[in-house]
Amino acid sequence: MIDKEYLHHWPFAPEKQEAFFHALMKYQTFWTEPRYKFAGGFEGPLYVDLRKIISDPELLRFSGEKLAEILKNIGAEVIAVCSMSGDAWGVAASLASDIPVVLLRKKPHYHGPESIICGFPFPKDAKIVLLEDSVATSGQLKGFYDQLVAEGYTNIKEVVTLINTMTLEPGKHLKEKFLAEHGLQYHYVVSMGEFWPWLKDKGYVSEEYYQVLVDWISDPVTWPTKQSNWDNLEKLKTEGKVYFKYPEDVVRGARM
């Protein structure tokens, strides 16, 4: 399914998506306090910490297989992982696809090759695919892209993530400006625009907080600039309506 000409959705099979959503609950991946500041500079009322789920072998395996499917279909020659929290997914995808993987540092080490690349050097014209666990604003992604280009790697046309954090209304997000300006295709497996309704249907989030999240991810740049939104959120917190209900039977099965 293609949402826009440069946004490509590669969904899990229904049973795998259900398992992935349950894992987000099982490992209690949500931060609601304090205000979270994203790499792009704006704030939000919520952060999803995917680092909590990388220790689940089954989840890591089938997620890596799905990422490998995307990477092989788009002809990746090198997987360049753009964050520590994405390292596990990149290695899992490499093992499932037989495509080489390198890990990227935020800053070059000023000894040895003085490069941001951790891994065996690859040809400058190799087709590099940037891989992240999730992308909200592209602030961090842009930094890695710019540094690779500065080192002479210019064949970068694709970005792959496990989660597309903000996708209810494509067109209002900072990452789209970055993607369009650099001619990048963006591929993702899970949309949080699918996850929030699932939470609501399961009764795992209050109706009031669900609406806050929908309003925020629909326009994440403007939402934080309106003090009335934060005032309403504080009011809901006081009333005990800002919560995620973690089902006991799900949490009890967690390995962590």
Report pLDDT digits (tens) over 27-56. 888 877 667 777 666 788 887 888 888 888
Write the CB contacts of 68 (distance below 8 Å, at least 6 apart in sequence).
93, 94, 96, 97, 99
Pair 227, 245: CB distance under 8 Å: no
pLDDT at position 138: 65
Mean pLDDT split into 10-residue runs, the chain, 256 residues: 68 90 85 71 79 86 94 95 81 95 73 68 91 74 83 90 66 63 87 86 89 83 88 91 69 40
CA atoms of 138 and 181, how far apart (whole Å): 12
Residue 29: count of CB within 10 angstroms of its CB = 16
Q: 156 is written with which tokens?
A: 């970068």
Q: Look at residue 99 in the predicted model and tell me its pLDDT.
A: 96
Q: For residue range 135-175, list pLDDT tens digits in order.
A: 766 667 787 888 888 888 889 999 999 888 755 344 445 56
Q: Give the pairing of strands 43-44 and 36-37.
A: antiparallel
**Dist. CA 194–CA 182, nearest whole Å:** 27
pLDDT at 72: 97
Class of the CATH-defined domain 2-251: alpha beta
Domain ranges of the chain: 2-251
> E-strand spans in the chain?
2-4, 7-9, 30-31, 36-37, 43-44, 47-48, 78-81, 101-104, 117-118, 128-135, 156-164, 185-191
Which one-letter DSSP state was computed for residue 50?
A: G
**C-alpha to C-alpha distances, 67 to 31, 130, 140, 187, nearest whole angstrom:** 26, 12, 20, 9
At residue 114, the pLDDT reads 66
**Would you tell me how many other CB atoms lie within 10 Å of the CB of residue 89?**
28
By C-alpha distance, which of 52, 50, 58, 40 is closest to 188? 50
DSSP string, 54-75: TT-HHHHHHHHHHHHHHHHHTT
The reported pLDDT for the residue numbered 255 is 40
Helix, strand or coil, per DSSP, at residue 131: strand
- SS3 state of residue 27: coil
Cα gap 184→163, rounded to integer Å = 17
pTM of the model: 0.82
